[in-house]
Amino acid sequence: MNDQSPNSWEMRADAATFYGFTDLPSVRERGAVVLTHGKGPYIYDVHGREYLDANSGLWNMVAGFDHAGLIAAAQEQYARFPGYHAFFGRLSDQTVMLSEKLVEVSPFESGKVFYTNSGSEANDTLVKMLWFLWAAEGQPQRRKILTRVNAYHGVTAVSASMTGKPYNSVFGLPLPGFIHLTCPHYWRNGQESETEEQFTSRMAAELEEVIAREGADTIAGMVAEPVMGAGGVIVPSRGYFQAIQPILKKHGIPLISDEVICGFGRTGNTWGCETFDFMPDAIISSKNLTAGFFPMGAVILGSELTDRLQRASDAIEEFPHGFTASGHPVGCAIALKAIDVVMNEGLADNVKRLTTLFQAGMAKLAEHPNIGEWRGVGLMGALEAVADKATKRPFDGRLSVSERIANASTDQGLICRPLGQAIVLAPPFIMTEDQMDEMFTKLGRALDRVFAEVA
C-alpha cells in the first residue's frame, strides 16, 4: 500500500505537509491516501483507486463530490464578484440574501447572522458575543461557558476549551472558566439499575449543582450539540434538553445549539434542535451550510440575543470583530444553492427515505457479538465495539480496534471513521440504495475480519 520511493505521492505528502488529527505511525506505515477527484459519494486516489466515502468527507459533503448545481453556483459567482469582506458597511448582495435565507429557515421568528470561515471560529465568535453583551449589560463577570465532556466544538483556543476531549491537555487547555458537564450517554454513563429517565434527571441535577457552585452570575452561556458528532454520535438520553433548558432559563443562561454537524438535514430535519424538540437562543452552523464546497461558518442569533447584542453594539457604535473572508460572496452564493439543494431539491426527502435503510443496516451489524450498541439518528450513526457485550467491557485500547476496522474498510474501498472504540458513519444525502448496500457489505466484512483477529 505504502509506496516508499522518494517521488511517490505517499512520501511527498509526508515530506511537506504537517498532519493534524492523524495517527502518525499508522499513516507512515500505510501511506497517506492522496486524492484527485470525486464522483457522487465516491472519491479517487492518485492510483485510480475508488473509495465510497461513508463519512461525507468530514460530515459535510452531503451533496457528494461533483454536484453540478453547486459547481455552477460557484463558477457564476467567481465570474461575477470573486471576493469581498463584510466590514465598514460594505458587503455583497449574496451575503445579504444568505442572511435573509438563514433567518427564514432558522427556528427563530427574527434574528441576525454573523459569518466566519469555520465552525471553530463560529463558536469563538459566539463566546466573544456573549462576553461582550454581558459586559455591556453591566455583568462583566459572567464569562464561564458550560459544555459537556466528549463535546466537540473546534480547535481554536476558545472552541478547543469548549471541546470536552482529553487531548487538548497537550496545549494546556481548557482555558480557565470552561466547565464540562457529564456526557449524557445513557448506555455508557448510566449506573446499574438506573432508568433512562433517572439518568436524565441526574444530568439535570448536576447542572443545577454546577450553577449553584459556580454562581449563575458568573456563567455566560451553555453550548451543546443536539447529537455529539465527533464524540462518537452520542444521542442524548431521552428528555435531556427538556430537562436542562428550564434550569438554564431560570438562571438567565442562554443555550446555544452547535449545529455544525446536525444542521441542514443530518438528523432528518433542518435542525437538530427540531429533532430533539428544544428552542435554543442561537445556532452555530458550518459544514453542510455550503455542502462542504466552501469553508464557511455562521452564528445565527435568535431574536432576544439579536436585540441584546444590537443594543450593546449600538452603545459603543461597533462590534469589534470579523474575519477578512466573513460573508465571502462565493461562499454565500454556494450556501444559498446548498440550502436550496438540501431543502427544496429532494435531498432532505432522500435523507428521510434512506434513514430507514440506514438504521436497519446498523441494527443488523449490531447483532455482532462484539458490537455493544448502535446509536444514531437520521443519517448519522455509530457502532460501538466491545470485548464483552454483556458487561460492555471495551477492548484493550492498545489493540486499536476501531482504527483496524477503519483500515480494513479502506482496504476494501470504504471510508469510515474510528472514534474512540466506535465506528462512525455519516453518508452523503445523495446515496442510492445500492451504495448503501455496498457500504454495509464492506463494513460487515471489515468487522468480521478484525473481530476474528482480536476477539
**Per-residue DSSP letters for 36-86?**
EEEETTEEEETT--EEEETTHHHHT-TT-S--HHHHHHHHHHHHH------
Instruction: State the residue number with the nearest CB to ligand PMP.
Output: 119
**Which residue in this structure is represented by grid cell 511527498?**
12
Rule CB under 6 A: choose which of 222, 230, 233, 247 binds ligand PMP: 230
Torsions phi, psi of 108, nearest 5? -90, 150
Least distance (Å) from ligand PMP to the CB of residue 223? 9
- Using an 8 Å Cβ cutoff, are 443 and 423 in contact? yes
**Per-residue DSSP letters for 439-451?**
HHHHHHHHHHHHH
Pick 230 or 443: Cβ nearer ligand PMP: 230
Rule CB under 6 A: choose which of 84, 108, 115, 152 binds ligand PMP: 152
Least distance (Å) from ligand PMP to the CB of residue 384? 19
Rule CB under 6 A: choose which of 120, 125, 326, 370 binds ligand PMP: 120
Compute the residue count for the chain. 455
258 binds ligand PMP (CB under 6 A): yes
Pick 125 or 370: Cβ nearer ligand PMP: 125
Pick 118 or 200: Cβ nearer ligand PMP: 118
**What are the cell numbers at 80?**
461575477
Among 280, 309, 281, 284, residue whose Cα is nearest residue 298? 284
d(CA 420, CA 423): 8
183 binds ligand PMP (CB under 6 A): no
225 binds ligand PMP (CB under 6 A): yes
Rule CB under 6 A: choose which of 229, 263, 361, 378 binds ligand PMP: 229
Least distance (Å) from ligand PMP to the CB of residue 390? 32
What character string, x for contact with ligand PMP (CB under 6 A) and - otherwise, covers 9-48? ----------------------------------------
Choose one: 76-84, 174-182, 254-262, 445-453; the region binding ligand PMP (CB under 6 A).
254-262
Pick 210 or 261: Cβ nearer ligand PMP: 261
Least distance (Å) from ligand PMP to the CB of residue 53? 15
Pick 55 or 77: Cβ nearer ligand PMP: 55
List beta partners, residue 113. 300
- Using an 8 Å Cβ cutoff, are 354 and 41 in contact? no
Q: Using CB under 6 A, which residues numbered 57 to 116 contact ligand PMP?
A: 58
Least distance (Å) from ligand PMP to the CB of residue 150? 11
What character string, x for contact with ligand PMP (CB under 6 A) and - otherwise, covers 272-311? --------------x-------------------------
HEC secondary structure over 118-149:
CHHHHHHHHHHHHHHHHHHCCCCCCCEEEEEC
Whether the upstream peptide bond of residue 174 has omega within 30° of 0, thus cis, is: yes
d(CA 269, CA 273): 9
Q: Inter-axis angle of helices 329-344 and 93-105, to 10 degrees?
A: 30
Rule CB under 6 A: choose which of 112, 142, 148, 153 binds ligand PMP: 153
Q: DSSP strand E in 205-253: where?
A: 219-224
Give the count of residues interacting with ligand PMP (CB under 6 A).
Answer: 15
**Residue 177: Cβ within 10 Å count:** 13
Least distance (Å) from ligand PMP to the CB of residue 121? 7
- Using an 8 Å Cβ cutoff, are 339 and 105 in contact? yes
Judged by the rule CB under 6 A, the positions of this chain that interact with ligand PMP are 58, 118-120, 123, 152-154, 225, 229-230, 258, 260-261, 286
